[in-house]
Amino acid sequence: MLSMQQTIYYISTSPPLSCMCNNFSAKPFGLFSLMDEESMLAKGTDASLASKLYLRCSTHPRFSASPVQQGRGLFTVEHYAGKVEYTTEGMREKNKDELRQDIADLFQTETEVHSFTRLLCEAGLTHRQTRSNSPATLRRNESKRLNTSSVGGQFKAQLLHLMEMLQHTSPHYVRCIKPNDSATARVIDRDRVVEQLRCNGVLQAVQVARAGYPVRMLHEEFISRYTIVAKIGKRSGGINSIYAIVDNCLSHLPIQSSKSTSTMDFTSQCVARGIQLGVTKIFMRSPTFERLESLRREFIAVHQQFIGERLLGYFHRRRYVRYRKAVVAIQRAFRYQRQRTACATSLQAFARMVIARTYYIRLVRSVIYLQGCIRAKQQNAKLKYVLEGSNEDEMEDAWLDDIPETTYSELSPISSSGGDDEDIVRMTYVDGPQYGRASA
C-alpha cells in the first residue's frame, strides 16, 4: 500500500497476517462466511460445517487438517504467533450467540432504564403466552436473523476496523519478554525467549528493516536536515529543491550495487545508492542513512570548530582592547598625578621663596631703620654736648667721661683660622677728628 501511494519500487516483505485475514474473511468461501452460512441454516450441523471447511479452505496456505483431525472434526490455523488447533464441535451454536440490537440500544440509552424495568414487570408470563409459532412468525424471525450479525461477523468487522485504523496511525508497542515459565530468578530459557520474540514480530521486523528501506522522511524534513550535506563542495547557494538536494547528495554516497551507474537515469542511480524518492516521502537504506548522518556530523563539527575559533578570537580581542584601555587610563592617571605633584612642589617652593624674601626684606628694612635711629641719636648727643660745653677742657672731659659708648654689631667675615665666633667692634667717637680711638 505504501509503495503504491509513494509510487516507488519496493519488494514487499510484510508478514502473512494480512494475507491470512483477507483470505479467511473473503466472501463467499472464507472461514467466517462459511460459519455464518452454516449458522443461519435451520438444519445445519457441526459436521457439515467441518466438511465445508475441509472442502473450501484446504487450498489456503495457513489452513491444514490431517486425516486424523478430519475424523475428529478438528483443523489447524497457522497464525502469526504459531499453529493453533480448533474444533468444530459447538462452533455453530457459539457463532449464533448474538445480542439483539433492540436490547443493545435499550442498555445504551440512559433514559430507557425505567422503561426497561416497566416492561419486565408488565410482561411476565403473559408475554410468553402471546408468542406464536406460526410460519409467518418463523419467517420474520429468520429475516431478523439474516439482518443481525453473528459473533464471527462482529469479529470480522472489528478486525477490519482495527486494520483500517492501524493503517492511518504509527503505533508503538511495549512488549514484555518472559524469561522462563517457572518464574525462577536468573534463569533464561533460550527457546522460550526466541519463541516470544518471533510471536511478537521482533525478529521479522528486524528482517523487514534490513531487507527494505527502514528510514522514512518527509521531503521537508530531508531538505532541512541534509541541505548542508548537499552543499559540500558546491559554490552555488540556490539548492532548495528535493531533486537538486538528492542529486548533490548522490555524489557523496557509495554505490550499493555491482551495476554500472554511468548509463543509469536519476531514479536508477538513487536505487543503486539506497534511496527511493516518493511523492511526499523519501526512503533510505540503513547504510545510506548512516553515511548521510556521518557527513552531516562532520560538516557540523568543522563549522562548530570554525565558529568556536571565531568566537574565541572575538572574546580575546575584546579582552585585549579592554586591557589596553585600562592600561592607557592607568598611565594617564599616573602622568596626571605626577604632573600634579610637580606643580604642587613648584607652588610650594615659590610660596616658601615669597615668604623668605618678604621676611628678608622686612629684616633689612628693620636693620636700616635701627641703624638710622642709632646714627641720629649719636649725632643728637654730639650736638648737645657741643652746645652745652663752656670751654675746651670741660668739653673734652665731659666728652671723654660722660658721653656713653655706642656699640655696633656686625657680622664679620670668618677668620682665616676657621673660627665661627663674631667679632664685636666698639668705636668711641670723641669731639674732633683727632680724638678717635677704637677698642675691641
Using pLDDT thresholds of 50, 70 and 90, give the confidence band for residue 317. very high
Q: What are the tens digits of pLDDT across the range 78-126?
A: 876 678 898 988 888 887 766 566 666 666 565 555 565 556 555 544 4
SS3 content of the chain, % helix, strand, coil (to 5): 60, 10, 30
Q: What are the tens digits of pLDDT across the range 364-377?
A: 999 999 999 999 99
Specify the pLDDT at position 120. 59
Q: What is the mean pLDDT of residues 46-63?
A: 85
Q: Which of 315, 334, 21 is nearest to 163 (CA)?
A: 21
Q: What is the mean pLDDT of residues 210-219?
A: 80
Specify the pLDDT at position 29. 74
| 433 has a pLDDT exceeding 60 | no
Ramachandran region of residue 82, left (φ > 0), alpha (ψ -120 to 50) or beta?
Answer: left
d(CA 399, CA 385) in angstroms, rounded, equals 7
Q: Which residue has the cell 520474540?
A: 197
Specify the pLDDT at position 127. 46
Q: Does the N-terminal peptide bond of residue 61 adopt cis geometry, omega within 30 degrees of 0?
A: no
* pTM of the predicted structure, to 2 decimals: 0.39
Specify the pLDDT at position 137. 47
**Structure-block grid coordinates of residue 38:** 452454516
For residue 41, count other CB atoms closer than 10 A to its CB: 11
d(CA 96, CA 160) in angstroms, rounded, equals 20
Using pLDDT thresholds of 50, 70 and 90, give the confidence band for residue 397. low
What phi, psi does 273 have (nearest 5°)? Answer: -105, 10
Class of CATH domain 12-167: mainly alpha
| 355 has a pLDDT exceeding 80 | yes
Q: Are 50 and 253 in contact (CB under 8 A)?
A: no
| 166 has a pLDDT exceeding 70 | yes
**For residue 406, what are the contacts with CB-CB under 8 A and spacing of at least 6?**
374, 378, 427, 428, 429
Least confident of 2-11, 331-340, 422-431: 422-431
For residue 73, count other CB atoms closer than 10 A to its CB: 19
**Structure-block grid coordinates of residue 176:** 514484555
Sketch the domain layout of the chain as residue ranges. Answer: 12-167, 172-212, 403-440
Specify the pLDDT at position 143. 47
d(CA 206, CA 214) in angstroms, rounded, equals 9
- CA distances from residue 412 to 79, 409, 415, 419, 422 in whole angstroms, order as listed: 145, 9, 8, 11, 6
d(CA 25, CA 125) in angstroms, rounded, equals 42
Query: Residue 275, class by beta-carbon neighbours within 10 Å (0-12 exposed, 13-18 middle, 19+ buried)?
Result: buried
Q: What is the mean pLDDT of residues 391-416?
A: 52
